[in-house]
Structure 1
């Protein structure tokens, strides 16, 4: 009997142990809330850092890229120049180095402007509109080292293009190329001194140099035309090019503004 009781007790203990083991396996292991939060935050922190770095890189890229004049002009529709455009430009630029009182003497009066090109004219038709008595003027012009009309453009190539396109207007008058490319200033001096020249087409830098050397006289000058609306390969107009704009303003200051104010010189914007 005793042996049987012992066997029964051992079987009960085995059953009890098995029940406890099954209970332990089914019960989930407790997880530390602190560790769980750390693991949960890590992906979020990584995402925020990456987003911040991406934003900083984008802002740096935007700051580095400068807006060019060609970007602005490419988005704008062709708009003909007006006298107000030139008047405002002259005042804005000259106000940097002149006092308010001095600026009053440098204003271009409205009366000195001729009708501007509305983009419908060729150069010949525009010049005929500005100067309907051109044939009479050129016939009466006898003074050497002087011109009746001056056309200012941005480059030598553009000057040649303008000369070719004014055939219907110029007739048999003498036209002088006033730019530096492939032409020495001494050659232009000889041509001005040798014979009568009616019309000059060129860049402001070379024209200014000839005036400073007292080779080009402005006494007979009646018309000054700016090649205002034409754009180069970079979509820049005459006054959009900093070095050209600077030379034009210096040229105007030399004597041309005073001639305009005296009503002896008329301005046109082609």
Structure 2
């Protein structure tokens, strides 16, 4: 079956002829330009501009030294409130209110504080007027009547030399050198010692090892006001301060609260 189609009209003939004929050049029109592919632009890494170093240096605030503070004000002798404040600062965030109350030292346990006019012998004579009778009646081994705590071995030797007028014929023991600790234990176990002078770390170790008993202790003297070459007191040295507080907590505070031991700040 064949499908017949009507012959194209005039409009369709014109359209077909215009599509088949090549386009004539138009003198007024510009020749078509082919599109050029853009070349990739080169990328260069540029160094950041170096800022000129400022010639003005920032002044750092210099930490104040103890010597600077003392230069502006004369040193004040230690008082019982200073020791109590030290204990509160150390245990304040670690203990409960009830525990802090148990660490409080009563005013009655403190001896007369040194006003920086006493020699060591004169201070000991004033706080312990019945020393001759006390040392005569002392017979217990591994124990002391008077315990003096210093910051260093050299300071211990100085105090031992300066107490000649006070000690009389009593037995004095050095409690500081680690290399003679065996000898210290032997002397305490086999003899009667009246007075001991030492550093808090060594004394603490002897108490922990059961080489030194605090049962007969009557007086504990802290070398509070003395300053070393850097003008530091024993409580200004972190290690000595901590060992002193540990020693006090090991039983001395309890004895002070029971009125068995008296505390002095020299």
The TM-score, its normalising length taken from structure 1, stands at 0.76
Match of 1:217 among 213, 216, 223: 213
Unaligned runs of 5+ in 2: 1-51
- Residues 1:196 and 2:192 aligned together: yes
- In structure 2, the partner of 1:133 is 130
- In structure 2, the partner of 1:24 is none
User: What is the root-mean-square deviation of aligned Cα atoms in Å?
Assistant: 1.6
Cα deviation, 1:37-88, whole Å, max 9, x if unaligned, reads: xxxxxxxxxxxx99x852xx233x33xx333334333433121110111111
- In structure 2, the partner of 1:37 is none
1:69–1:240 CA contact under 8 A, matched in 2: no
Unaligned runs of 5+ in 1: 1-48
Distance in 2 (alpha carbons) for counterparts of 1:197 and 1:74:
42
Change (3 A) 1:229 1:53: same
Match of 2:146 among 145, 149, 162: 149
- Residues 1:98 and 2:98 aligned together: no
The TM-score, its normalising length taken from structure 2, stands at 0.77
Distance in 1 (alpha carbons) for counterparts of 2:65 and 2:246:
25
- Residues 1:173 and 2:176 aligned together: no
Whose helix fraction is larger, Structure 1's or Structure 2's? 1
SS in 1 for 2:94: coil
SS in 1 for 2:58: helix
Distance in 1 (alpha carbons) for counterparts of 2:71 and 2:201:
27
- Residues 1:241 and 2:237 aligned together: yes
1:73–1:236 CA contact under 8 A, matched in 2: no
SS in 2 for 1:58: coil
Pairs within 5 Å for 1:18-33: none
- Residues 1:158 and 2:152 aligned together: no
- Residues 1:111 and 2:108 aligned together: yes
